Amino acid sequence: MSWTRNGETRSYHHGNLREALMQATLDLIAEKGIAGVTFAEAARRAGVSAAAPYRHFRDRDELIAAVATAGFDRFAEVLKASWQEGRPSPAAAYERMGRAYLDFARQHAAHYIAMFESGVPLEAHEELQLAGSRAFAVLREAAEVLVAHMPVAGRPPALMVALHTWSLAHGVASLFCRADGARRKLPMTPDELLEAGFLVYLKGLGAPSD
Amino acid sequence: MSWTRNGETRSYHHGNLREALMQATLDLIAEKGIAGVTFAEAARRAGVSAAAPYRHFRDRDELIAAVATAGFDRFAEVLKASWQEGRPSPAAAYERMGRAYLDFARQHAAHYIAMFESGVPLEAHEELQLAGSRAFAVLREAAEVLVAHMPVAGRPPALMVALHTWSLAHGVASLFCRADGARRKLPMTPDELLEAGFLVYLKGLGAPSD
DNA sequence: TGTACATCAGTGAACGCGCGTTCACTGATGTAC
DNA sequence: TGTACATCAGTGAACGCGCGTTCACTGATGTAC
């Protein structure tokens, strides 16, 4: 048996409910913020009954964790793609990655919120924790290459550089790149702010400027 | 008429309900996160009926905004106190202020969440916006002094320095200083990470190291 | 290729619960005289 | 200093609503033979 709903034909079995619920969650975050995410509303938007989500997620936290996990996977891909193996130079590629970071925060604001501001405990969701680590690993590997191109004397630890980069980028993203009303005003673009910060920081490290 | 409740005597009129509701909100944030804040529960903890909060706050957002506003005021005081007019040197005082920033994020985690992760729109609450600006002004004034002690040639804009500082400190605080389960693991203390970042950054600016 | 059957994914009705919100009310406080 | 009265801050009962959650169920799918 099958019938139409919202102009689309679908059978008794949704077939793709898990993904539909995750998409609904992203829409809800974008529209109402993380507090606007409920099982009932996500089910409604996916066109199924309120009990259906329980076949795929234990509770709201698990749904949000799944969305955050997918976000981290996508984030890792975006960062990796922007790094381009450090071409044409590690410093140039690193800055490009910084812009990609902010682009992600802007274009996938709902994912970014699920990843960093959802309040879902990391320990309780191993998949999420691993996905987060994989994304950070991209940043860290880039920092390794960046650092390897510096003079041996006074070469900084790559992990530290990666953590500083992450902190600065996250700070800029979460203060100045939000889509909601909590965004702070800025007399320049967030990209300019982050890039300028990177340049100063790299100079402080004694890095070749390109 | 007066009677006892929870071992304390209080009259029909609470006398300090506004503050009691704000304190209850802080406790709720600390215990359950921002999503755990409800009018009903705050009233319950303050020992009044569910209708009482309406005499002081229009809705939940206004309550949270009031808490965030008070948080920014306190934050500004803390930063100002740590800056100590830039003694003994602007660089040393600036770093001390960075530690004070992280201390605040840790010791007043609930305030910090209300200030930066509550999802309350800034535009809708002018008092909140002003309090936020006042806090940032402390940071900015410190940056002015710091910059003024640098060689005129290549002296960076103080506003930019302040924004970089804020971004880095907020990034470290929000990634690594949280009290909830969303805190990331770190192979050093957040203070060390932030201080090292400052030092590199200041060096990149060409600042005197003390 | 067809049939029987197990399994799976979604239904819809039901329930309790807590929250937001309104309302007429009432006890306490402050002030004018 | 005492009294009358206006104002204020809290009460408690009531209501609707949406959410979370459970349950026996049923339609669809896949697989063994």
The protein side of the strand D contact, defined by CB less than 7 Å from any of its atoms, consists of A 1-2, 11-13, 38-41, 44, 50-51, 54, 59-60; B 12-15, 17, 47-52, 55-56
Tell me if B7 is assigned to some domain.
yes
Domain range enclosing B102: 61-204
CATH number at residue A174: 1.10.357.10
> Please, which residues 76-115 of chain A have a Cβ atom closer than 8 Å to chain B?
none
pLDDT at B12: 73
Tell me if A125 is assigned to some domain.
yes
Indicate whether B47 and B151 sit together in one domain. Answer: no
Does residue B177 have a pLDDT over 70? yes
Indicate whether A88 and A183 sit together in one domain. Answer: yes
Task: Say if the Cβ atoms of A168 and B166 lie within 8 Å.
Answer: no
Indicate whether A48 and A122 sit together in one domain. Answer: no
In the complex, which nucleotide's C1' lies nearest to the CA atom of residue B11? Answer: C28
Number of domains within chain A: 2
Tokens 């800034």, residue located: B122
Indicate whether B42 and B118 sit together in one domain. Answer: no
Tell me if A80 is assigned to some domain.
yes
Does residue B147 have a pLDDT over 90? yes
Tell me if A6 is assigned to some domain.
yes
pLDDT at A9: 54
How is chain A split among helix, strand and coil, in percent rounded to 5? 70, 5, 30
Q: Decide which of A32, A55, A78 is a domain's last residue.
A: A55
Q: What percent of chain A has pLDDT over 90?
A: 87
CATH number at residue A48: 1.10.10
Tell me if A209 is assigned to some domain.
no
Nucleotides of C under 7 A from a protein CB: 8-14, 18-24, 27-29
Indicate whether A105 and A180 sit together in one domain. Answer: yes
pLDDT at A209: 59
Indicate whether A84 and A177 sit together in one domain. Answer: yes
Indicate whether B66 and B8 sit together in one domain. Answer: no
Indicate whether A173 and A72 sit together in one domain. Answer: yes
Tell me if B209 is assigned to some domain.
no
pLDDT at A208: 65
- In Å, how far from its chain's centre is CA B136? 11
**Token pair for residue B64?**
């949270």
Q: Is B167 exposed, middle or buried (0-12, 13-18, 19+ CB in 10 A)?
A: buried
One-letter identity of residue A205? L
Indicate whether B140 and B114 sit together in one domain. Answer: yes
Q: Predicted confidence band at B164 (pLDDT cuts at 50, 70, 90)?
A: very high
Does residue A42 have a pLDDT over 90? yes
Mean pLDDT of B38-58: 97
